[in-house]
Structure 1
Amino acid sequence: MKTNNVLTLILAVVLLGCQQKQPKEAAPAASTMAEVSGNEDFKYWTWITADANRDDSTYVAEFSKYKNSGIDAVLINTGTDPELLGRLTPLAKQEGLEVHAWIMAMNRPGDSVALQHPEWYAVSRDGNSCFDHRPYVDYYQWLCPTRKPAREHVLHLVEELAKVNGIETVHLDYIRYSDIFLPVGLLPKYDLKQETELPEFDFCYCDVCVSEFEKIHHKNPRELSNPAVDMEWKQFRLNQIKAVVDDAYDIVHKHGKKLSAAVFPYPEMADHMVRQRWDKWNIDMVLPMIYHNFYNEEVDWIGFATKQGVEDLKGSSTSLHTGIFVPPMTADQVVQAIVLAKENGAKGISFFDGNSLTTEQLHAIKATK
């Protein structure tokens, strides 16, 4: 994927387009800071997007800023470029940061290899392919996880990143189907009402998915009168995503790395919105994107969603690190989110994204360490 396409994707990640400029703020109250003591094992992360044209010295300065502000780990999107990742990893590690290789998995806009294979792309219930008819926005080009060549292409990209010396995990993003339901806070942006599963947003109904499902269940999902209530059809698609994750897990562990993923807020919600049941995966860490403002929720919802995910992971070895969206938040609210994540069982918190963190927010983060 070309860098400019990746940058376009990240700037509009999760269909946002609603970042707000931060006002100057007072430092968070000392009483609030006191609630976040004892964070030795509580990890602070941030997501960043790399640009191959930047000089190394600018990255050293950026990584140093994060480390000096209390950040422990960076998730770096290099557009699946292992060479660029190999260049940046030692620079980040030199500043004391963990490095995690961030990859767009099933949504692959502008992927030069995939674009040579139109049949690899997911098809909606109304018969349109993501190859040339993209749901919601132009950068939504979803591959079908059931098609073996498409899946192998994604797994090859995962393996190339896993080979890079010094990284901790390969971090899967967009490891799901396209949104059957958008977060409610984003619906007005697209002038949409989504009270049922609409056919133009319901994936995947390609020939391979239909054929594989028919082999198991002896019915054609295209002929279902109400696909939304057919549990076998729903489970089939959950299993296709799980299969990609489980294969990726084996690959990265073969190279001595771990697997992490950015996921929707908690498993039941992810299941409903994007066919993603992440509590069933073979995975080491999940970073649920608990972006409260996307759902018209208040900051305390971060604690609720964190607890839901932690409860659903009980009995597994997967750790949960709460992800928050910082642009609309004050420094006090960032501290509140850290408190809520920790109190509800998270092992860390990640801030989206590094470039959006204000000086006030960085000072507040450092003060909680």
Structure 2
Amino acid sequence: MKKLITIFCLSFLLLACKTESKKQVKSTYKIPVYAWEHLPKDATDEELTTQFKDFKNKGIDGLMYSAGHDPETYKRVGKIAKSIDLEFHAWIPTMVQGKNPKLKPEWYAINGNGESAFDKPAYVDYYKFLCPSKEGTINFLEELYAGVASVEEVDGIHLDYIRFPDVILARGLWDKYGLVMDKEYPQFDYCYCDECTSNFKEKSGIDIKSVEDPSQIQEWKQFRYDLITNVVNKLANVAHNKNKKINAAVFPGPNSVAKKIVRQEWDKWNLDAVYPMNYNDFYLEDTKWVGEMTKEAVTTLNNNKPVYSGLFIRPEVTENTNKEDPENHGLSPNELEDAVKESMLNGAEGICLFTPGRMTDAHWTVLKKVISTNYTKNK
């Protein structure tokens, strides 16, 4: 009888331990959260330390951090981030580059009207896109990223603007720029430089400059997808040779959006992770669309690499806020909860916020709740 009582007690104890263990696992679950952030002008080490501790306390695990091109700056900021146990990825634009003594004007992309992005950029002044065919472009970028990837405190390289200019803007931006983009127009279509067009003709036999409607030539689209893919994979080799990760901010899709409007076939890129910018307001869509885009990304990648759903936050409205500008729109606190849920249910590994500075107190309250919710992914 005593043996039976002893066995019963031990069994009960083991069951209780297992139950408690499950409770602990559940209570410590957390969705990985990253954020795009930039270095404030003249920020001191003390200010950065305070800011980074605040990010960490609010649930952020890592930063995609923009601080220019200087490796020493990334070393300084990265040291602070690492001391607070934040992942630290150097967020550096790729094909978009302003005037730089290391860059020649002839390395910039040319549109279908023969205009250079160097002196006549599309849409906005900073849209100075380099041509991915130019050897000088490749050499410049490899040197740039190799220098930053050599910094011990940098965990990875985060590519941005790794694409051509938007041949068609997201629907929510048409009114802002006074455009109706019902098809591809030559002034927004790149690159038609002599090198791109001659290389394409040699490869395909097609003289694209003599084609009445280049948008109908699938080989021409693929040629430009491949140009960007080539740049990415060369930079991936640079990062991996430095034992660093490489990831990128990409347009949603890739098939439904990214390939169509910015020539990104990013499922072919040799990256360690992707961060689709699922900015639903830009496309006049709701949070269900965020889930659809996440599912497309995860499915297209065959679950072979993590997808972090990029979420665009609605900033606090002030008297100076231009409510008509879609870039002042974004996810409200309630929509943030829905967008996180849609992202995780459809296979995202985590989320990435644009940006912490746009988050209100109400956003942070919602975030604290949702990041500890263990959503079951849809199959």
TM category, shorter: 0.7 to 0.9
**Greater Rg over alpha carbons, structure:** 2
Structure 2 Cα separation of the partners of residues 234 and 363 of structure 1: 44
Instruction: Map 1:115-130 onto structure 2 (within 5 A).
Output: 117-130=104-117
Change (3 A) 1:322 1:39: farther
In 1, distance between residues paired with 2:212 and 2:42? Answer: 52
Identify the match of residue 354 of structure 2 among 320, 328, 352: 352
Contact 2:74 2:153 in 1 (8 A): no
Supply the distance in 2 between the matched residues of 1:164 and 1:236 (Cα, whole angstroms): 34
Q: Structure 1 residue aligned with 2:215, among 210, 219, 228?
A: 228
The match for 1:292 is 280
Structure 1 SS opposite 2:294: helix
Shift of residue 150, structure 1, vs aligned partner: 1.0
Is the 1:144–1:151 contact (alpha carbons within 8 Å) kept by the matching residues of 2? Answer: no
- The CA deviation at 1:160 is 1.1
Residues 293 and 156 (structure 1), Cα distance of their counterparts in 2 relative to 1, 3 Å cut = same
User: What 5-or-longer segments of structure 2 have no aligned partner?
Assistant: 1-25, 315-329, 373-379
Is this contact kept in 2: 1:41–1:347, CA < 8 A?
Answer: no
C-alpha deviation, 1:361, in angstroms: 1.3
Alpha-carbon distance between aligned partners in 2 of 1:41 and 1:213, rounded to the nearest angstrom: 48
Task: Indicate the residue corresponding to 1:209 in structure 2.
Answer: 196
Aligned match of 1:174 = 161
Query: How far apart in 2 are the matches of 1:263 and 1:146?
Result: 20
Match of 1:143 among 115, 130, 135: 130
CA RMSD of superposed structures (Å): 1.4
1:99 equivalenced with 2:88 (yes/no) = yes
SS of equivalent to 2:111: coil
Amino acid at match of 2:148: L
Report the more deviating stretch, 86-95 or 331-340: 331-340
Change (3 A) 1:290 1:212: same
Secondary structure class of the residue paired with 1:261: strand
In structure 1, C-alpha distance between the alignment counterparts of 2:273 and 2:247, rounded to whole Å: 5
1:304 to 292, 299, 320: 292
Give the aligned residue type for 1:217: S
Shift of 1:42: 3.2
Residue pair 2:311, 2:331 contacting (<8 A) in 1 also: no
Normalised by the length of structure 1, the TM-score is 0.87
In structure 2, distance between residues paired with 1:162 and 1:326: 29
- CA deviations 1:123-157 (Å, max 9, x no partner) are 00110001101100111000000111112111211
1:48-101 CA distance string (max 9 Å, x none) = 011352111111111011100011011100112211110001111111210011
The separation in 1 between residues aligned to 2:361 and 2:50, in whole angstroms, is 15
In structure 2, what is the equivalent of residue 267 of structure 1? 254
Letter aligned with residue 289 of structure 1: M
Q: Which residue number corresponds to residue 100 of structure 2?
A: 111
1:50 aligns with 2:39: yes
How many residues end up aligned between the 2 structures? Answer: 330
Q: Which runs of 5+ in 1 are unaligned?
A: 1-36
- 3-state secondary structure, aligned to 1:267: coil
State the match for 1:26 in structure 2: none
In 2: Cα distance, 1:332 partner to 1:201 partner: 36
Matching residue within 178, 197, 216 for 1:191:
178
Aligned counterparts of 2:368 and 2:156: Cα–Cα separation in 1: 24
Matches within 5 A, 1:52-67: 53-67=42-56
Q: Secondary structure at the match of 2:310?
A: strand
Which whole-Å CA distance do the structure 2 matches of 1:183 and 1:39 have between them?
39
Higher RCO, Cα 8 Å, sep 6+: 1
Q: Distance in 1 between matches of 2:234 and 2:124?
A: 29
Counterpart of 1:20 in structure 2 is none
CA contact (8 A) 1:122 1:206 kept: yes
1:281 aligns to what? 269
1:241 corresponds to: 228
Paired amino acid for 1:367: K
TM-score (norm 2): 0.84
More displaced 10-residue stretch of structure 1: 354-363 or 63-72: 354-363
Map of 1:329 onto structure 2 = 331
The residue type paired with residue 261 of structure 2 is M
- Deviation string, structure 1 residues 169-217 (Cα, Å, up to 9, x no partner): 1000000000001000000001101111100000000011012112211
1:78 counterpart (67, 88, 91): 67
1:18 matched to which residue of 2? Answer: none
Change beyond 3 A, Cα 1:40–1:159 = farther
1:57 maps to a residue whose letter is E
